[in-house]
Amino acid sequence: MKKSKAALIILLVVLLTLGIGYMDIWGYDGNGTGNASDIKLGLDLAGGVSITYQVVGEENPSETDMSDTIYKLQQRVAGYSTEAQVYQEGSNRIAIEIPGVTDAETILAQLGRPGALYFINQTDSNGNPNYSDQIVMNDDGSYGQQTVLTKSIDELMADGSIAITGTDVEDARAVSQSDNMNNMEYAVSLALTPEGAQKFAEATQRAVSRGYETIGIYYDGQFVSVPRVNDVIANGSASISGSFTYEEAERLASTIRIGGLSLELEELHSKVVGAQLGIDAIETSLKAGAIGLAVVALFMIVVYFIPGLASAIALCFYVALIVLLLIGFNDVLTLTLPGIAGIILSIGMAVDANVVVFARIREELGKGDSVESAINTGYAKALSAIIDGNVTTLIAAIVLMILGPSNVKGFAQTLALGIVVSMFTALFVTKWLMKAFYALGLKSVSLYGKGNERKAVDFLSKKGIFIALSVIVILAGFVFMGINGSQGKGALNYSLDFVGGTATTVDFNESYSLQQLNDMVVPRIEAVTGSTVQVQTVQNSNEVIFKTSSLESSVRSALENMFVSEFGVNGTSITTETISSTISDEMKRDTIIAVIVAIICMLIYIRIRFKDIRFGLSSVIALMHDVLVVLAFYAAARVSVSNTFVACMLTIVGYSINATIVIFDRVRENMANAGKTDIVPIVNKSVTQTLSRSIFTSLTTFVMVALLYFFGVSSIKDFALPLMVGIGCGCYSSVCLAGAFWVILSKKFPAKEKN
């Protein structure tokens, strides 16, 4: 590479980093258009719309119907944001909170009122019409034709004129299709449940046999469409057409989807709520990220010299690019507290691939290779470890994006984005920069560092001690959970997200900022209730919503008296409601299923890549060890188990598997070079060779998370503290346990001899 080309590459990367950073902060036109402020934020950081629905006609609907309705609504509102929340209030109310929007009326218009949906045959069994066209007066005083029922819904139900109901519809989507004249038109495509498909086939057969009758779609007290049946539909899918614009087709599809709920709902009230954490959460996280980035960059330069300088520049490029992509994907990504913490965490993890490569380069220099040759060989030998470690984590992220519930999808999207960008910067940007520095004349071996062959540490001789220590810690966690449960405190310190609680709405006589509420009001509430408090302000009013753990009637009364006596609030303006958890049983189930499928997929990948299922099993055992140790810490330290708990555990899963794969990749390489020999010294040698990588990567990641804990608000601390434990535990299990598990499995289940 010529010096002019090398200088151009370095200049280009630096200018790209500065240019992207400029767009991140000031926008592409310098006037704030398309900058970081356009990133869609979650309820915890920016607030959003809160809509409360009430069940029509039932004061005490069944728990099954309420649970089913909540779960279906969660699937529907995920289209607005992966971080939207749906939960129960009282016995017959459902609250929906959608972040990143401020116009409740627009959301209500798009979402539709969740009313009852019916597909009605044109005639009954005797041939009498169930509906007819009539001339009616419109709201503006004009007259028009409208289809109206000739019987009540109960009468239609009784005589079997209801073909299917909304619960028989599995999905409805706006699509484009060709009409009879081969012209494109918009329509609504329906997918029915198996039971609904059978009933609809019978209804369309009946309509065709009676001279191609219509089947009216009746929703929320009026007909939204009356399509004619042209053919028998027996495959469980149907299409509704009728000169729709795309917006009209999408609105009808949304109407049909929302009509498939188990209960009929009506809007009770809607309001715009403020951020739960306030601007401080963002500011402190950004401060932690900036300091952490500087610390990590300095660490890399001090330890790895020229390669470290190249990685520091690439790391800045990585951060700028991540922010730009978050801006670009703001339609599908909603950034919340776990998301911010995950991105800042990824800054620490992004150096991992670089550390693996740099260790390889130093090994080659220690063998006497030239710098240029060592760089090429180092990248070539490190490639498999980097790909395998990142792909296993990426597989988990993709599975979670597809199968996980809405609150997990956002985390998985951010994780996948970070993995892809970090691999690009490590494998290409850092490599280009290193070669450019070399071409500029920085060729001395001393500028790159020379690795010396170290005597292998006999980790496996202590495997009994390591395993016993881990078993004791894990068992201690279960003991703590048992003691906590017997004392009535709960095995873990579950937050409102998991167990629900009480929402107290207070209309103050004056307006308070979120900071004032946290400083003046929250401590008084905690003193009365003995519970942690979530705060939400209501836009354009003095109303504030305080969410606590479930409160008995006596405590509720004491809380109301406190507001009246200490803040002069009118007692009649205070309302309390019991609220359910925002993480439903279905969401917990979906998360567990997604994690299990992700682990199975990772096992399959490791089996294919390593040609030995014992590597995969050892990795999963080490992974489960880390999860159980962190769970023990949650139990012993009584750290709040909130929605960040899921993000914390998933981060540890991805982090742990990545570290273990790097070690197993070296085991695979050393075994191929050694041939048939005792596997114990090979494992000890492999762990020793990758020890600096394990320590340095864990250290940089730990620093990032520690800064989050030091600067963060309380919710971030609840995320960062167990994550620090998980990082340390992940390093310990990869170094001290994973290889031991593989050796035990290899001796217990030896590979079959090849003929």
DSSP assignment string, 486-511: HTTS-SS-B-HHHH-EEEEEEE-SS-
Are 75 and 153 contained in the same domain? no
Q: What is the reported pLDDT for 733?
A: 93
Whether 95 contacts 69, CB under 8 Å: no
Q: What is the CATH number of the domain that holds 612?
A: 1.20.1640.10
- What HEC string does 510-558 produce? CCCCHHHHHHHHHHHHHHHHCCCCEEEEECCCCEEEEEECCCCHHHHHH
Is 221 inside a domain boundary?
A: yes
pLDDT 10s digits, 692-725 = 888 988 888 888 888 888 887 666 788 888 989 9
Give the separation between CA 671 and CA 2, rounded to whole angstroms: 40
Are 542 and 667 contained in the same domain? no
Question: Does the pLDDT at position 557 exceed 70?
Answer: yes
Average pLDDT, the chain: 83
Mean pLDDT of 264-287: 70
Is 179 inside a domain boundary?
A: yes
Query: Tokens 């390669």 appear where?
Result: 307
| Of 57, 54, 174, nearest in space to 113 by CA | 54
Are 318 and 371 contained in the same domain? yes
For residue 442, the SS3 value is coil
Whether 572 contacts 549, CB under 8 Å: no
467-to-3, 652, 658 alpha-carbon distances in Å: 54, 19, 21
| Of 514, 365, 369, nearest in space to 448 by CA | 365
Q: What is the reported pLDDT for 474?
A: 95
Question: Does the pLDDT at position 420 exceed 70?
Answer: yes
Residue positions counted in the chain: 755
Are 394 and 527 contained in the same domain? no
Mean pLDDT of 651-669: 84
Are 591 and 554 contained in the same domain? no
Task: Provide the pairing of β-strand 575-579 with 48-55.
Answer: unpaired
Is 486 inside a domain boundary?
A: no
Alpha helices in 47-152 (DSSP H): 63-77, 104-111
pLDDT 10s digits, 503-523 = 899 999 888 887 788 888 888
pLDDT 10s digits, 62-107 = 888 888 788 777 777 776 776 778 888 888 888 888 876 666 666 6
Are 29 and 127 contained in the same domain? no
Q: What is the CATH number of the domain that holds 253?
A: 3.30.1360
Whether 340 contacts 282, CB under 8 Å: yes
Q: What is the reported pLDDT for 208?
A: 92
The CA angle 192-57-222, to the nearest 5 degrees, is 55
Question: Does the pLDDT at position 253 exceed 90?
Answer: no
Domains in the chain, number: 5
Are 646 and 729 contained in the same domain? yes
Q: Which residues contact 522 (CB under 8 A, 6 or more apart)?
A: 533, 535, 546
> Hey, what are 715's tokens?
């919710």
Q: What is the reported pLDDT for 111?
A: 60
Whether 557 contacts 585, CB under 8 Å: no
pLDDT 10s digits, 449-502 = 887 778 889 999 999 999 999 999 999 999 999 998 888 778 888 888 788 888
Q: What is the reported pLDDT for 180?
A: 62
Are 331 and 428 contained in the same domain? yes
Q: What is the reported pLDDT for 432?
A: 93
Which pLDDT band holds residue 401 (cuts at 50, 70, 90)?
confident
> Rounded to 10 degrees, what is the CA torsion of 509, 513, 516, 522?
80
Alpha helices in 350-370 (DSSP H): 351-366
Query: Tokens 């919340």 appear where?
Result: 336
Are 289 and 437 contained in the same domain? yes
Percent of the chain topping pLDDT 90: 23
Question: Of 579, 600, 618, which residue sits at a domain end?
Answer: 579
Whether 510 contacts 570, CB under 8 Å: no
Question: Does the pLDDT at position 33 exceed 60?
Answer: no
Give the separation between CA 644 and CA 719, rounded to whole angstroms: 6
* DSSP label of 429: I
Mean pLDDT of 388-399: 84
Give the separation between CA 718 and CA 630, rounded to whole angstroms: 12
Is 448 inside a domain boundary?
A: no
Give the separation between CA 713 and CA 536, rounded to whole angstroms: 16
* DSSP label of 733: I
Amino acid occupying residue 591? T
Whether 112 contacts 267, CB under 8 Å: no
Which pLDDT band holds residue 206 (cuts at 50, 70, 90)?
very high
- To 10 degrees, what angle do helices 643-674 and 337-349 make? 20
Amino acid occupying residue 147? T
Is 493 inside a domain boundary?
A: no
Q: What is the reported pLDDT for 234?
A: 85
Is 491 inside a domain boundary?
A: no
Are 209 and 154 contained in the same domain? yes
The CA angle 165-167-169, to the nearest 5 degrees, is 85
Is 487 inside a domain boundary?
A: no
676-to-641, 672, 683, 753 alpha-carbon distances in Å: 49, 9, 14, 11
Q: What is the CATH number of the domain that holds 528?
A: 3.30.70.600
Percent of the chain topping pLDDT 70: 88
Are 131 and 163 contained in the same domain? yes
Question: Of 579, 599, 630, which residue sits at a domain end?
Answer: 579
Whether 313 contacts 13, CB under 8 Å: yes
Whether 525 contacts 559, CB under 8 Å: yes
Mean pLDDT of 256-281: 69
Are 468 and 601 contained in the same domain? yes
Whether 449 contacts 308, CB under 8 Å: no
Is 45 inside a domain boundary?
A: no
Whether 655 contacts 686, CB under 8 Å: no
| 49, β-bridge pairs | 98, 272
Question: Does the pLDDT at position 263 exceed 90?
Answer: no
Residue ranges making up the domain that contains 564: 501-579
Q: What is the reported pLDDT for 109?
A: 60
Give the separation between CA 447 and CA 104, rounded to whole angstroms: 60
* DSSP label of 184: E
* DSSP label of 446: G
Whether 493 contacts 634, CB under 8 Å: yes
